[in-house]
């Protein structure tokens, strides 16, 4: 027979993504653009580490959006000219976008670095020019607060470096930058303090009390600004720790469950290894329990709300479980469709159980299969074994199992029973029960 070779859409299986439209190689002399990352997996926004000049914000955004880093930097410069908005935006992004941990991205070329430094100067110059032209919004950049800003930038950058070193070495030091790092931090602190002091000295015409208050507030602000990177890191580390704790608890729950059930059963099996029947019973019971824990409606990882309790499939599985436990056989249960196990179906479940018991006791085989199908108007259950079978005519009068528990029970409730059997052919009991329209369930 021919095997279909058509392309198949597979649920839950992602086909390999189509190749990203890689731009054709540029003309000679122009550095070829990076092969664009697959659009389906757009880079998470994080600050770049390799191509950075100040804080890595621009290269991070460029990676995220898949545009050249130069464009991003120019946008920042233009915005810096518009009332210093570019500077403010850059600062906020620096504070709140986490630093990338991987080695993603590529180191900027020397030319790009020069371009970027030129652009930084241009941006600051634009902001200053706007201030000089009397734009009150950006006036704050020109004064001593601008100096404080530069100081804060130096300290933040040093904090980034420290964090990177911490990732690389695993050390937890905050000031891990050694002597030069310490010098840079001190220089930054000096700039911030100087800037704020000069700013305050311009305000001396205020009263003494006000001046004192102002000094306290200014100090607090200075400390707050300087320690922002460490606060943010603290918050992130807390989140990280909480995730780790949840994982640990999850693992403990699984371990506890496996210990209580599987390990105990394995110990019992080792003790009883002489009795094959007992081992089979234990193993089968444990398997059933583990399955219901893993996949069942109230099992592990379920909220317990997606399936109502008391469905027919559950009732049949429970009955099969009892038979398995009692008679050390295995019952394969396959149910198609489902419905609530209301009282009209209870006789069906009981009759099914009785049929399974008969198969387990008399068929002489270790396996019984049960198939149930729920149809809109009727429920059918088939219990089958491949055992000895029997001749219905020779069943002694005093055997009530099939006659009373199955035939009688089903007929009293409007159901049907058919038995197909013969010596050596196995037995199949077919049960049918009409459904009472109790709701819209199917």
Partner 1 sequence: MTEATGGPKVITVFLVDDHALFRTGVKAELARAGPVGPDTAGVTVIGEAGSVDEAVAGIGHLHPDVVLLDVHLPDGGGAEVLRRVRTALPDVVFLALSVSDAAEDVITVIRAGARGYVTKTISGRELVDAVRRVHAGDPVFSPRLAGFVLDAFAQRTGAAPVGDPELDLLTPRERDVLRLLARGYAYKEIAGELFISVKTVETHVSSVLRKTQLSNRYELSRWASDRRLV
The number of residues in the chain equals 442
Tell me the closest approach of the beta carbon of residue 313 to partner 1, in angstroms.
7
Q: Which stretch binds partner 1 (CB under 8 A): 83-91, 183-191, 312-320, 340-348?
A: 312-320
Taking each helix axis as running N to C, give the angle between helix 144-169 and helix 208-258, from 0 to 180 degrees, rounded to the nearest 10: 20
Bridge partners of 17, per DSSP, are none
Shortest Å distance, C-beta 380 to partner 1: 9
209 is a contact residue toward partner 1 (CB under 8 A)? no
Neighbours of 132 (CB within 10 A): 11
The shares of helix, strand and coil residues in the chain, as percent rounded to the nearest 5, are 55, 10, 35
Residue number, 90 or 382, with CB nearest to partner 1: 382
Residues numbered 7 to 46 that lie near partner 1 (CB under 8 A) are: 8-13
Among residues 67, 334, 403, 436, the one that binds partner 1 under rule CB under 8 A: 334
Residue 41 or 208: which CB sits closer to partner 1?
A: 41
- Nearer to partner 1 among residue 187 and residue 269 (C-beta): 269
Q: 199 or 382: whose CB is closer to partner 1?
A: 382
Q: How far is the CB of 336 from partner 1 (least distance, A)?
A: 5
Judged by CB under 8 A, the residue of 253, 332, 378, 404 near partner 1 is: 332
> Least distance (Å) from partner 1 to the CB of residue 83?
52
Query: In the complex with partner 1, which residue's Cβ is closer, 237 or 332?
Result: 332
Contact 344, 436 (CB under 8 A): yes
Closest approach of Cβ 373 to partner 1, in Å?
A: 7
Q: How many CA atoms lie within 13 A of 300 on its CB side?
A: 15
Strand 367-374 relative to strand 416-421, pairing? unpaired
Q: Exactly one of 66, 89, 143, 296 binds partner 1 (CB under 8 A); which one? A: 296
Q: Which is nearer to partner 1, 192 or 320 (CB)?
A: 320
Q: Please tell me the count of residues contacting partner 1 according to CB under 8 A.
A: 33
Of 99, 158, 354, 428, the one binding partner 1 (CB under 8 A) is: 428
Q: Where does this chain touch partner 1 (CB under 8 A) — which range of 3-11, 127-135, 345-353, 401-409? A: 3-11
Q: Order across the sheet with 378-385: list the strands.
A: 330-336, 367-374, 378-385, 427-434, 416-421
Long-range contacts at 155-158 (CB < 8 A, ≥ 24 apart): 155/184, 155/185, 155/188, 155/189, 155/192, 155/226, 155/229, 156/55, 156/94, 156/95, 156/228, 156/229, 157/54, 157/55, 157/184, 158/184, 158/185, 158/188
Closest residue by Cα to residue 234 from 302, 159, 284, 306: 159
Distance of closest approach, residue 401 Cβ to partner 1, in angstroms: 22
DSSP character string of 316-348:
HHHHHHHHHHHH--EEEEEEES--B--TTTHHH
Residue selected from 330, 352, 358, 405 as contacting partner 1 according to rule CB under 8 A: 330
Nearest distance in Å: CB 317, partner 1: 6
DSSP-assigned beta bridge partners for residue 340: 311
Choose between 120 and 406: whose C-beta lies nearer to partner 1.
406
In three-state secondary structure terms, 381 is strand
- Give the contact letters, 252-291, x = binds to partner 1 (CB under 8 A), - = no: ---------------------------------------x
Q: Which is nearer to partner 1, 354 or 428 (CB)?
A: 428
Binding positions for partner 1, 388-427, rule CB under 8 A: none
Residue 389 has a CB neighbour count (10 Å cut-off) of 19
Q: Which of 40-48, 150-158, 367-375, 404-412 is the region at the interface with partner 1 (rule: CB under 8 A)?
A: 367-375
Cβ closer to partner 1: 289 or 342? Answer: 289
Shortest Cβ 370–partner 1 spacing (Å): 9
- 338 in Cβ contact with 312 (< 8 Å): yes
* DSSP symbol at 418: E
Take residue 78 and report the two structure tokens written for it: 């233009």
Residues that bind partner 1 in the complex, under the rule CB under 8 A: 1, 3-6, 8-13, 291-292, 295-296, 313-314, 317, 330, 332, 334-337, 369, 371, 373, 382, 384, 386, 428, 440, 442
């Amino acid at each position: 027979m021919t095997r279909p070779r058509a392309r198949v859409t597979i649920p839950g299986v992602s086909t390999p993504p189509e190749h990203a439209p890689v731009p054709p190689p540029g003309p000679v002399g122009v550095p070829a653009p990076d092969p664009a990352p697959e659009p389906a997996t757009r880079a998470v926004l994080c600050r770049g580490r390799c191509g950075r000049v100040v804080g890595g914000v621009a290269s991070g955004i460029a990676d995220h959006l898949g545009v050249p880093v130069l464009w991003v930097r120019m946008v920042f410069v233009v915005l810096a000219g518009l009332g210093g908005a570019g500077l403010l935006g850059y600062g906020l992004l620096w504070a709140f976008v986490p630093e990338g941990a991987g080695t993603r991205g590529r180191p900027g070329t020397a030319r790009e670095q020069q371009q970027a430094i030129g652009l930084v100067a241009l941006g600051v110059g634009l902001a200053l020019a706007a201030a000089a032209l009397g734009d009150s919004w950006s006036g704050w950049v020109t004064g001593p607060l601008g100096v404080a800003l530069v100081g804060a930038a130096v300290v933040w950058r040093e904090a980034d470096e420290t964090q990177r070193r911490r990732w690389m070495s695993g050390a937890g030091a905050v000031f891990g930058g050694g002597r030069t790092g310490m010098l840079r931090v001190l220089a930054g602190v000096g700039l911030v303090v100087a800037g704020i002091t000069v700013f305050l000295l311009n305000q001396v015409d205020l009263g003494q009390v006000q001046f004192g208050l102002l000094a306290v507030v200014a100090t607090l602000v200075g400390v707050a600004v300087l320690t922002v990177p460490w606060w943010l890191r603290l918050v992130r580390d807390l989140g990280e720790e909480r995730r780790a704790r949840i994982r640990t608890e999850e693992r403990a729950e699984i371990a506890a469950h496996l210990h209580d059930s599987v390990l105990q059963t394995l110990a019992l099996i080792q003790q009883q290894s002489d009795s094959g029947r007992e081992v089979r019973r234990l193993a089968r019971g444990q398997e059933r329990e583990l399955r219901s824990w893993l996949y069942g409606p109230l099992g592990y990882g379920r909220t317990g709300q997606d399936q109502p309790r008391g469905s027919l499939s559950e009732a049949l599985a429970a009955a099969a479980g009892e038979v398995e436990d009692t008679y050390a056989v295995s019952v394969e249960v396959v149910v198609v469709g489902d419905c609530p196990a209301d009282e009209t179906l209870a006789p069906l479940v009981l009759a099914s159980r009785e049929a399974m018991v008969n198969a387990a006791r008399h068929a002489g085989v270790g396996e019984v299969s049960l198939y149930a199908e729920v149809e809109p108007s009727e429920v059918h259950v088939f219990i089958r074994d491949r055992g000895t079978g029997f001749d219905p005519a020779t069943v002694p009068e005093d055997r009530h199992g099939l006659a009373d528990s199955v035939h009688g029970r089903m007929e009293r409730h409007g159901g049907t029973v058919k038995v197909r059997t013969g010596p050596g052919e196995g037995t199949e009991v077919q049960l049918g029960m009409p459904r009472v329209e109790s709701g819209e369930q199917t």
